[in-house]
Amino acid sequence: MIGLELVVVLGLAVLLGNAVGDRYRIAPPVVLLVLGALLGFVPALREVELPPEAVLLIFLPVLLYWESLTTSLREIRRDLRGIILMSTVLVIGTAGAVATVAHQLGLAWGPAWVLGAAVAPTDATAVGVLAKALPRRNVTLLRAESLINDGTALVVFGLAVGITVGEEHFTVPHVTGLFALSYVGGVAAGALVAWLVIRAQRVFRNPLLGNVVMILTPFTAYLLAELIHASGVLAAVSAGLIMSQAGPRMAGAEMRRQAEEAWSLATFLLNGALFVLVGLQAQAAVRELHGDDLTKALIAVAAVSAVVVAARFAFNFTVPYLIRLLDRRPQQRLRRMNYRARVVTSIAGFRGAVSLAVALSVPTVLDSGTPFPDRDTIVLVTSGVIVTTLVLQGLLLPAVVRWARLPKDTSVEDERLLAETTATEEALKALPTLAADLDTDPAVAERMRQEYETHLLVVRAGDSGTGSDDEAAVLRHDRHYTALRLALLAHKRATVLRLRDEHDIDDTVLRQVQRRLDIEEVRLSGRRTAE
């Protein structure tokens, strides 16, 4: 299967899978996994393999960087202790529990720990897609956990593989040093790259060049961390979190629009392609085993899947209550979740492509020339656990959320209204001074004042929720105004197209005018959606 054909097949699968998911209200990753497994029956596609380097070095830096760039750092700070515990203690505990069960099922301790490290971390991309309907705090906890826990899992994985092949030894100081280098080195590498990017953004003011710098950021951070044997995952994440704070002050509006649209499309395609490839690889893993080996592996899939879920439940219903006993501060009480919310968090522990990439990274042959023990079983069980968590837990999550009756989260909407109201009020206060400084014509300043006051009335009317006649009239007037503006924009666009078709203007002029019309339409459409 040549590369171009695979690109077309993956693109069509992503398109069809998301369309089917939206049409039948099924989480798109579930549909994409099934499509990937079905595509495995196509003879030409059976040759397709998912190189672990492609996920660890191409997919992972981009996806983790964008996830961290769009995650709330304020929310992470508020629940940092819980996030760190879930990203370290839970991962190591899960890996140990899985290793114990796998050893009981016949794997040697080395391969058993390799399997445990592969299935221990949750997947940021799967969490972002499948758990996005949860309240903001739940989503932030899940996303932050999955952004960090890959670093822990990769250290455990490297240690397990090294011990199995005889290249590593297990002592407390050595293991502590590996974890310290992974975390401290990764964060330091990400911070250094972010600092360099901030300096570079001041030089490259051109939006296209600025976005090239942004694209290079996660790969550079990941590479620098790998060169010093630290965690590339944490480097990409820390760079993204730092840039999420510094970026809005540096980048211009045009650069931000380019970046948001380009990265949204790129991460959408990469996410979808990964789920399809995981489905393909899962079927390929099944084909590698036969007879008793396949039966044992399927039993191991069921057992390990149960252990992974059980370990998450055990953590969420023990560690938080232990913290409550030890930390009685009032602010700690404000962070508490009820047991229903903990059930939701436990169910939402999805595994994804990172786990499969880790399993595929297991060497096929040792330096001695002998095969790595139970490699096919590790890949198959990991694939099965991914499919089980994404499909079963993904389909179960909406019902669990309804059962949990989580309080409606209006914090984002409330804060957005606060930002719009405050920004508009302060802009009105600054208007006379700014107009005087710029020597603006009084008629222009008055027109601007009227527009801002109208906008402030609309924001306040939408915020109050009292439904008075005056507020209803303001909102109705704004809806009519927006609809008319959109209709006029459509008319202008049709006119410009007619002029191009009649050869009165060139395609270059059409694109320039249409771009300005599109920007205004997007602004008005977003405003109408917000209302």
Q: What CATH number does the domain containing 336 carry? A: 1.20.1530.20
Instruction: For residue 380, count CB atoms less than 10 angstroms from its CB and return exposed for 0-12, middle for 13-18, buried for 19 or more.
Output: buried
Q: Does residue 420 sit in the same domain as residue 381?
A: no
Q: Does residue 204 sit in the same domain as residue 315?
A: yes
Q: Does residue 79 sit in the same domain as residue 174?
A: yes
Picking from 365, 382, 408, the residue at the C-terminal end of a domain is 408
Q: Does residue 485 sit in the same domain as residue 362?
A: no
Query: Which pLDDT belongs to residue 425?
Result: 93
Could you list the pLDDT tens digit for every one of the 531 residues in the chain?
457 888 899 999 999 999 999 898 888 888 998 999 899 888 888 777 777 777 778 888 998 899 899 888 888 888 888 899 999 999 999 999 999 999 999 899 999 999 999 999 998 777 777 777 788 888 888 989 998 898 899 889 988 988 887 766 778 788 888 889 999 999 999 999 999 999 998 888 888 898 999 999 999 999 999 999 999 999 999 999 999 998 888 777 788 888 888 898 999 998 899 889 888 888 888 887 777 878 888 899 999 999 999 999 999 999 988 888 888 777 777 777 888 999 999 999 999 878 888 888 888 877 667 788 888 889 889 989 998 998 899 889 989 999 998 888 888 888 888 888 999 999 999 999 999 999 999 999 999 999 899 888 888 887 665 567 777 888 888 889 889 989 999 999 999 999 999 999 999 999 989 988 988 888 887 655 444
Tokens representing 342 are: 């903990």
Q: Does residue 107 sit in the same domain as residue 222?
A: yes
| Residue range of the domain that includes 382 | 51-408
In a domain, 5, yes or no: no
In a domain, 244, yes or no: yes
Q: Which amino acid is at 136?
A: R
Can you say whether the dihedral through the CA atoms of 410, 416, 422, 428 is positive or negative? negative
Q: Does residue 360 sit in the same domain as residue 423?
A: no
Round to whole Å and give the CA distance between 34 and 36.
5
Q: Does residue 416 sit in the same domain as residue 404?
A: no
Round to whole Å and give the CA distance between 432 and 438.
10
Question: Could you tell me the CA-to-CA distances from 354 to 7, 122, 271 in Å, in that order?
Answer: 21, 8, 12
CB-side neighbour CA atoms (13 Å) of 224: 23
Round to whole Å and give the CA distance between 359 and 155.
13
Round to whole Å and give the CA distance between 121 and 95.
9
In a domain, 264, yes or no: yes
Query: Which pLDDT belongs to residue 370?
Result: 78
Q: Does residue 344 sit in the same domain as residue 453?
A: no
- As for how many domains the chain has, the answer is 2
Round to whole Å and give the CA distance between 62 and 221.
11
Question: Could you tell me the CA-to-CA distances from 519 to 190, 474, 525 in Å, in that order?
Answer: 34, 25, 10
Q: Does residue 186 sit in the same domain as residue 265?
A: yes
Q: Using CA atoms in the order 198, 203, 208, 211, what is the torsion angle rounded to 10 degrees?
A: -10
Picking from 390, 408, 426, the residue at the C-terminal end of a domain is 408
Picking from 408, 423, 447, the residue at the C-terminal end of a domain is 408
Query: Which pLDDT belongs to residue 1?
Result: 47
In a domain, 17, yes or no: no
First-last CA distance in the chain: 49
The contacts of residue 195 (CB under 8 Å, 6+ apart) are 242
Which of 217, 192, 207, 188 is closest to 250 using CA atoms?
A: 207
